[in-house]
Structure 1
Amino acid sequence: MSTENNVFLGIDAGTQSLKLLAYDAGQKEILHVCAAPLELISRDDGSREQIAEWWLDALRQCMSELPAEIKARVRGIGVSGQQHGFVPLNKAGEVIAPVKLWCDTSTIAECEEITLRFGGVERCIDAVGNPILPGYTAPKVLWLKKHKPEAYAELAHILLPHDYLNFHLTGKIFTEYGDASGTGYLNILRREYDRDMLAAIDPDLDLLPLLPPLLEADATVPLGEQARQAFDLPAGVKVSTGGGDNMMAAFGTGSTKPGVLTLSLGTSGTVFAHSDKPAIDPHGDLAAFCSSSGGWLPLLCTMNCTVATELTRQSLGKSISECEQLLEASTAGANGLINLPFYNGERIPNLPHARASLHGMTDTNMTPANLYRAAMEGATYTLRRGLDAFDRAGQQFTAIRLTGGGAKSPHWRQMIADVFNLPVEIPAQQEGAAFGAAMQALWACEGQADDLPALIGEHLAVDETMGCVPIAENVATYATLYQQFQDLLGKQYPEIQ
């Protein structure tokens, strides 16, 4: 093993777990990966919360498992975090309430209130680039004011999950444009906090001083001495700005230049691509986000991706390998079953009150194989709507880079290729967001701000054995099935038309 200090750590704090990855940039090798599970607080009102201390406990566990010989060679750290979460701190830097997460839908009333005060949905899109949706941070701030006024009275800092982990590592409060653009109060056109939107959130309090300073994507901050000693890391370690999990997955899949479409099959599903200019979708389906590499990252997010397949798998009492076998026993279209997989409501289309439903049931098609395929197809169709949105924006692609837990399924990979009618490529480094965070740390520490695509190309490999191409017969079948899904969606929810 090399003795150079050329190891970069990627930390990814997701909904289900926190992962730690160690990458040797000299050897171009992932040296270590570990994970610690995270709990989720769910309530019937749509609340989805976590306790910030859980992330720190998980980080301590993962760091304790990192071999000493790897720790001794760490040069940089990058942090990826689930987007949109609201971590409220007081003046002492203490968390004063549970963290409302990206999948929290309890803020519908607050979204409507903010949107009305700001002047309507169209003005939101025109002025800041995005509508105010339940998943975003903005309505969570107003929710805290209305529902926990004692905590709100103490509020001194408004952080995102990845900001909070950076604060723990460095002792400094800061953020960057990519994750900040998922709050609803960053103007993605001017790349600055929008004072009018902040006033719409709380007309009685100037929220601007509570927001973290925005650092450029390639900036670094020294690792704090307290964290350095706690984790037994060498002197001189730098922490990059990090970003939201999707922004870091863009580093980890190569979506740092135009033309590369990334699709992430995780708890949530996302479709995103790099853009050199702001990409505003007048329909509001594509979130107009900044990237964490200095550009923009238009993105469509669904709230029910592996949620759909996992809930179905658990209901069937099957293992993942058994469900893969079930897919072999079914055909495209699940013999007429269509699953609208809105188990947690849905973000795009914007249906926070929606619930999952199964359609086309007969006395012959209610088999485990068809039930599981319908869940996978429903999750895939909702993501396929993202390609329609990119078409409207004039962006075309030659292949899909697939990441996330669902990418491990060969049947799902082929389904994506057939439904999207694009070849599917699988990065050899499977932990997209964690690997991407390590890549951002490498990029920032190397000072290669003007040559990011080349750096990514040097370190990112594609696993040729896992890729697949569309099958013409399946493409034609799925084109018809996708339209049937769209027709059913429109009938069930005419408000999205």
Structure 2
Amino acid sequence: MDLVAGIDAGTQSLKVVVYDPAGRIVVASTSMPLDMISAADGSREQLPADWVSALHACFRQIDPSVRSRIVALAVSGQQHGFVAVDGAGDVLAPAKLWCDTSTAAECTQIMDAAGGIARTIALAGNPILAGYTASKLPWTKTHRPAAYAQLATILLPHDYLNFVLTGQRFCEYGDASGTGWLDVRSRSWSAELLRATDPQRDLGACLPRIANPDELFDIDPTTANALGVPATVKVAVGGGDNMMAAIGTGCVEQGRLAMSLGTSGTLFAYSDTPVVDPDGAWAAFCSSTGGWLPLICTMNCTVATEQVATAFGFSTRDGDAHLRDTAPGADGLVMLPFLNGERTPDLPLGKGVLAGLDTTNMTPAHIYRAAMEGATYSLKYGYDAFVGAGMQFERIVLTGGGSNSAAWRQLVADVFGLPVDVPTQPEGAAFGAALQALWAIGLARGDTASIMDVTRLHVAVDPALSMRPDPQRSQAYAAAYTRFLRYLDAITPLQRG
């Protein structure tokens, strides 16, 4: 009768799922929206207190009889954010998020101090891209000097919620590899990159210890009481949202490819060894299960379709009808959907572009299709780098809000030329966090099952949602994708200048 819970603190909402491993069913699922503070300079911030309020609100919505049976939980959090806390654990400033591009200049500053992009990749396995945590420190030093002076601990969003839950300051390898400071090959902090970030300060002293994937922590009694869960609940380490989505989609063994269509788009694969690209074509992250997670991230996915739907006064729930009313390739209309700047391709100062407008395709339906296609083509751009490096895949497991769209699932199958499956549990990151908690509590109780064993047992796909590529449409999309790449090549010099 034991239950496990997964908490996913995303950009737009905080979600909680409670899973019954014996019955293999989710017995409760709640969510609360989150606000974002945006500015013209590319700043994207949230108040950590809002995450805590949303967490409490989500648990209040769960029946007390369900909450009383929870034995373990874990947190999934949006990657790359920066929560500055002082020695007492008080938050010193709003949290700068993964989609914050106001620190693009600081990325260059750090890498130049380290010896350039190639040297940065040699030190950590990754360049420091816009949105990564490292760039937020010199920005904070300049723009929020009082907060920087009082800074005692650097926490990621997931780390901060773990701190709220346990009273302890720790991080884990998957999420830590998204800071830009972790050498993913050795799984240790790069002292050289920390010095390059701030040569006047020992930032290493501000970093929490890195916990192992299977560690468990006691929940803080006061927090347990506030959430209405037993004081005996154990908190697993959790991880970044992509790392938890990897667990929730079964992407914890070689050959698996997962795609998440959320506010951002991600494409990731599991590896038993570090997969570092010398040119930084993908993020060479660690997984949260003891392996590695080469990952492609785009900063504009469902945000593009939602913006178009809002602009033309319809709901994204009606989007599939617009796809049915238009042809693959949107009759020549192309959108480069870089509304938040972009990480793949690397255009942190990028802006959205509509190209190829004429009297026949200047319609809401065409523009909505162009947004969905553009978001998908950006992921295909990253996928091509995976394939170019010799990675091979037989199918795609799709998660995230965009996977609810039958038209988008078919579009992915046609563009990538691969079958698409959708897990029965739609909240991949929250469900993955619950499975990590299940695995960790099982090990503590003497179970020898690996995380791979756990996902094979609990991650299932819904055959009714699977899609197979259509050769004719795949051919049409191939031509449209080539057109997308031509426009991308044309505007890149303008958007980097």
TM-score by length of 2: 0.98
Q: Which residue identity is paired with 1:373?
A: R
Do residues 428 (structure 1) and 427 (structure 2) align?
no
Measured in 2, the distance between the counterparts of 1:174 and 1:371 equals 45
- Pick closer, same or farther for the CA change 1:408–1:307 going to 2, 3 Å: same
Residues 332-384 of structure 1: CA deviation (Å, up to 9, x unaligned): 00011000101111111111111101001111211121111111000000001
Q: In structure 2, the residue corresponding to 1:465 is in which secondary structure?
A: helix
Offset, 1:494: 4.3
Does the CA contact (< 8 Å) of 1:350 and 1:496 recur in 2? no
Quote the residue 1:475 is aligned against.
474
Measured in 2, the distance between the counterparts of 1:109 and 1:237 equals 43
Quote the residue 1:217 is aligned against.
213
Does the CA contact (< 8 Å) of 2:439 and 2:449 recur in 1? no
Match of 1:112 among 108, 115, 131: 108
Do residues 50 (structure 1) and 55 (structure 2) align?
no
Match of 1:263 among 259, 273, 278: 259
Q: In structure 2, the residue corresponding to 1:69 is in which secondary structure?
A: helix
Do residues 276 (structure 1) and 275 (structure 2) align?
no
Does the CA contact (< 8 Å) of 1:218 and 1:449 recur in 2? no
Offset, 1:225: 1.1
- Pick closer, same or farther for the CA change 1:483–1:208 going to 2, 3 Å: same
Offset, 1:496: 9.8
Matches within 5 A, 1:448-463: 451-463=450-462
Do residues 250 (structure 1) and 246 (structure 2) align?
yes
Match of 1:382 among 372, 378, 399: 378
Quote the residue 1:313 is aligned against.
309
Does the CA contact (< 8 Å) of 2:263 and 2:303 recur in 1? yes
Measured in 2, the distance between the counterparts of 1:94 and 1:181 equals 25
Q: Which residue identity is paired with 1:470?
A: P
Residues 25-65 of structure 1: CA deviation (Å, up to 9, x unaligned): 11111001010100000000000000000000000100111
Quote the residue 1:486 is aligned against.
485
Offset, 1:395: 1.1
Measured in 2, the distance between the counterparts of 1:393 and 1:327 equals 33
Match of 2:62 among 60, 66, 82: 66
Q: In structure 2, the residue corresponding to 1:416 is in which secondary structure?
A: helix
**Consecutive unaligned residues in structure 1, runs of 5 or more:** none
Q: In structure 1, the residue corresponding to 2:297 is in which secondary structure?
A: strand
Does the CA contact (< 8 Å) of 2:118 and 2:279 recur in 1? no
Does the CA contact (< 8 Å) of 1:490 and 1:496 recur in 2? no
Do residues 164 (structure 1) and 163 (structure 2) align?
no
Offset, 1:495: 8.5
Does the CA contact (< 8 Å) of 1:424 and 1:469 recur in 2? yes
Measured in 1, the distance between the counterparts of 2:155 and 2:189 equals 14
Does the CA contact (< 8 Å) of 1:254 and 1:457 recur in 2? yes
Quote the residue 1:346 is aligned against.
342
Measured in 2, the distance between the counterparts of 1:81 and 1:257 equals 22
Quote the residue 1:202 is aligned against.
198
Offset, 1:450: 6.1
Does the CA contact (< 8 Å) of 1:443 and 1:449 recur in 2? no
Does the CA contact (< 8 Å) of 2:170 and 2:211 recur in 1? yes
TM-score by length of 1: 0.98
Q: Which residue identity is paired with 1:293?
A: T
* Identity of matched residues, %: 52
Measured in 2, the distance between the counterparts of 1:27 and 1:248 equals 21
Quote the residue 2:134 is aligned against.
138
Q: In structure 1, the residue corresponding to 2:268 is in which secondary structure?
A: strand
Measured in 1, the distance between the counterparts of 2:448 and 2:435 equals 12
Do residues 97 (structure 1) and 93 (structure 2) align?
yes
Q: In structure 2, the residue corresponding to 1:297 is in which secondary structure?
A: strand
Measured in 2, the distance between the counterparts of 1:429 and 1:117 equals 45
**Consecutive unaligned residues in structure 2, runs of 5 or more:** none
Measured in 2, the distance between the counterparts of 1:287 and 1:44 equals 27
Measured in 1, the distance between the counterparts of 2:83 and 2:175 equals 13
Offset, 1:304: 0.5
Q: In structure 1, the residue corresponding to 2:464 is in which secondary structure?
A: coil
Offset, 1:275: 0.6
Quote the residue 1:231 is aligned against.
227
Q: Which residue identity is paired with 2:102?
A: S
Q: Which residue identity is paired with 1:246?
A: N
Write out the 4+ residue segments of structure 1 that deviate beyond 4 Å after TM superposition: 494-497
Q: Which residue identity is paired with 2:258?
A: T
Quote the residue 1:189 is aligned against.
185
Quote the residue 1:287 is aligned against.
283
Quote the residue 1:326 is aligned against.
322
Q: In structure 1, the residue corresponding to 2:287 is in which secondary structure?
A: coil
Does the CA contact (< 8 Å) of 2:332 and 2:480 recur in 1? no
Measured in 1, the distance between the counterparts of 2:229 and 2:359 equals 62
Residues 83-115 of structure 1: CA deviation (Å, up to 9, x unaligned): 000000001000001100000000012111101
Q: Which residue identity is paired with 2:474?
A: V
What is the aligned-residue RMSD (CA, Å)? 1.2
Match of 2:175 among 169, 173, 179: 179
- Pick closer, same or farther for the CA change 1:109–1:496 going to 2, 3 Å: closer
Greater CA drift, 162-171 or 383-392: 383-392
- Pick closer, same or farther for the CA change 1:44–1:495 going to 2, 3 Å: closer
Does the CA contact (< 8 Å) of 1:349 and 1:496 recur in 2? no
Residues 290-340 of structure 1: CA deviation (Å, up to 9, x unaligned): 000000000010010001100011111112233211111100000110001
